[in-house]
Amino acid sequence: MIRVTTLESFRRFRDNVTETYDTEEKLIEHIKGEFKGNCKTEIGSAFHFLIEHKEMDTNDITDFLKFGVIFNTIHFDTAYKHAENISPFVPEIRKSKVFNTGKYKVEISGCTDVLQGNTLRDTKCKFSAPTYMDYYNSFQWRIYLSIFGLDRFLYDIFEFIGYKDEMVKDVSSLVLKQHDPFECIRYEKMESEILTLINDFMDWIYFRNLQSFI
């Protein structure tokens, strides 16, 4: 089974989105499970946890503290208010779909952050001004819409302004800016473009002899 995040990582490598982060070496680390996350991913996970758990019981508090992230009260309020604004919603739904490209038959799995009626939503924490074309060019939303059989996807983007690596997981001094949701809509050629990406990915997997890792 292949995860949506893996396909998107491959797409970024294939399209040479950045020379620093989207390298073949980093992609292989991702596929082999060698990437264990970093401070930024932990901050994002902790913020996403708050959106899902506005009313935290003792177990939730224990789970939240494991992230080791330090927010300020405005950060908490922002997450809770966002959760209220998009309610009712169902969090963390994992689903898969078998794609048949004619050349390969593969199962793709994804876990959506939020299902709100007939709309999928994904929470993104950024540490610099977001580039909206980067989100539009992503295949994450396309594949999720295909898997869930829906037509509308929203990115909910929150930017921690002024983050520096030496802050590690303490963002309590930073301003958190909530951007307007970025909407992505199903289009006519979307499904065929997904199949092309899958073919390219599987060709590369066999070329690099990585079949045992997917």
* Angle of the 39-52 helix axis to the 73-86 helix axis, nearest 10: 50
Tell whether the model's pLDDT for residue 55 goes beyond 80: no
- What whole-number distance in Å separates Cα of residue 181 and Cα of residue 66? 29
Residue 3 backbone dihedrals phi, psi, to 5 degrees:
-90, 150
Average pLDDT, the chain: 95
Tell whether the model's pLDDT for residue 58 goes beyond 80: no
Tell whether the model's pLDDT for residue 189 goes beyond 80: yes
Two structure tokens written together for 100: 């048949």
Ramachandran category for residue 71: left, alpha or beta (phi over 0 → left; psi -120 to 50 → alpha)? beta
Residues 2-213, CATH architecture: Alpha-Beta Complex (3.90)
- CB count within 10 Å of CB 41 equals 12
Tell whether the model's pLDDT for residue 60 goes beyond 90: no
In the chain, where the domains are located = 2-213
Give me the pLDDT at residue 138, please: 97
Give me the pLDDT at residue 48, please: 95
Tell whether the model's pLDDT for residue 57 goes beyond 80: no
**Lowest-confidence segment of 32-46, 127-141, 148-162 by average pLDDT:** 32-46
Q: What is the mean pLDDT of residues 194-200?
A: 98
- What whole-number distance in Å separates Cα of residue 31 and Cα of residue 46? 24
Position 3 confidence tier, pLDDT thresholds 50, 70, 90: very high
* Burial (CB count <10 Å: 0-12, 13-18, 19+), residue 23: middle
Q: Report the percent of the chain where pLDDT is more than 90.
A: 87
Tell whether the model's pLDDT for residue 173 goes beyond 80: yes
Tally helices (H) and strands (E) across the chain.
8, 7
Tell whether the model's pLDDT for residue 56 goes beyond 90: no
Q: What is the mean pLDDT of residues 182-204?
A: 98
Instruction: Please write the tens of the pLDDT for every residue from 84-102.
Output: 999 999 999 999 999 999 9
Is the pTM higher than 0.75? Answer: yes
Tell whether the model's pLDDT for residue 195 goes beyond 90: yes
Tell whether the model's pLDDT for residue 19 goes beyond 80: yes
CA 179 distance to own-chain centroid: 16
Rg value, the chain, Cα: 18
Q: Report the percent of the chain where pLDDT is more than 70.
A: 100
pLDDT: which is higher, 163 or 58 = 163
Tell whether the model's pLDDT for residue 37 goes beyond 80: no
Among candidate residues 123, 128, 117, the one with its CA nearest the CA of residue 152: 117
Tell whether the model's pLDDT for residue 53 goes beyond 90: no
